[in-house]
Amino acid sequence: MWNGILNIYKEKGYTSHDVVAKLRGIVKQKKIGHTGTLDPDAEGVLPVCLGKATRLCDMLTDQSKTYEAVLLLGKTTDTQDITGQILEERETGHLTEEEVCACIAGFTGEYAQLPPMYSALKVNGRKLYELARQGIEVERKKRSVTIHEILIQEVSLPRVRMRVRCSKGTYIRTLCHDIGRELGCGGCMAALLRTQAGYFELKDSMKLREVEEACAAGELSRVLLPVDAVFHHLKEVRILEPYQNLAYNGNPFSESQIGQKPDTPEDPEKADCVRASQEAVRERQGRFCNGEQVRVYDRERHFIGIYRYHAGKQVFRVEKMFLDQEAAED
């Protein structure tokens, strides 16, 4: 079974579920999951998890995302994007670039966003878009989302191209709709490209065709990111061999039960290098902060999981396990 993450470039016309279904056929594996829905007409970064990496799906979904979007002013649609049925059209000739830019900038920060009816959110067990297609509109609760940054890239009224960095759960379609409503002319989303999802960037993404070619050439491992790659920003901890079973079984372990490197080699030159490396690691780590997350490995550097440090008792407690027990036993 393949374990890891593929940074997929989702092309127009595919749903996120389509991508997963096609990958199952390409890699001949059922255990696959995506990390955040993209609309069929949207493009861009869609991290897809394989095997034990599917345990990451909720963690990756929670991360901030960056989009490039085109806002079209003067049109309001039922889907809040250009593919929907036009509900209202208004003139935009009176708008100035300064007025539009000031309005858009006002959405930076936290705001209460009403999820669109055409979305995969569920109400009483039914997806909203299923109800919307039946002409049924139900009451939804506003959700707090955060727009970390909006960078206006081009203004050519009635269109505005902008880059948006936002929190999880933000609907860019709804942001466009809300900007249009605030300006009094209506608005919808004309195009959307996701350029970043947490650790994953557009420049490193691959189309399904490229994954299929890599798989056919026996090179899938070359493009499959290891599970621990997304935790590169966390400190690395190696548990000493006598205590490895504690971590293997998801039990807490103490700060005194960790080391950093395998035994020092006999070669004096190599030994000096290892000792220097050990000292550098210890210096870099310093003292652990209360609540700090770390990535934990065994002596052979098999990735075990993510632990959190509790300063009061000086112990690490498991947050998420990723151990491949068979690999650990090899």
Catalytically active residues are 39
Placement of tokens 């705001």 in the chain: 111
| CA angle (104 as vertex; 102, 110 as ends), nearest 5 | 115
Mind giving me the DSSP string for 226-282?
Answer: PGGGGGTTSEEEEE-GGGHHHHHTT--EEGGGEESSSPPPSSHHHHHHHHHHHHHHH
Q: Residues 49, 27: contact at Cβ < 8 Å?
A: no
Which residues neighbour 299 within 8 Å (Cβ) at sequence distance 6 or greater? 238, 239, 240, 241, 244, 259, 262
Among 263, 265, 268, 272, smallest CA distance to 300 is for 263
| Rounded-to-integer distance, Cα 229 and Cα 72, Å | 38
- Local structure of residue 191 (DSSP, 8 states): E
Please count the residues of the chain: 330
Cβ atoms within 10 Å of 270's Cβ, excluding its own? 11
| CA angle (153 as vertex; 152, 157 as ends), nearest 5 | 80
Q: Distances in Å between the alpha carbon of 49 and those of 2, 194, 247, 304?
A: 10, 18, 23, 17
| Rounded-to-integer distance, Cα 5 and Cα 146, Å | 27
Which residues sit opposite 194 in a β-bridge?
A: 44, 67
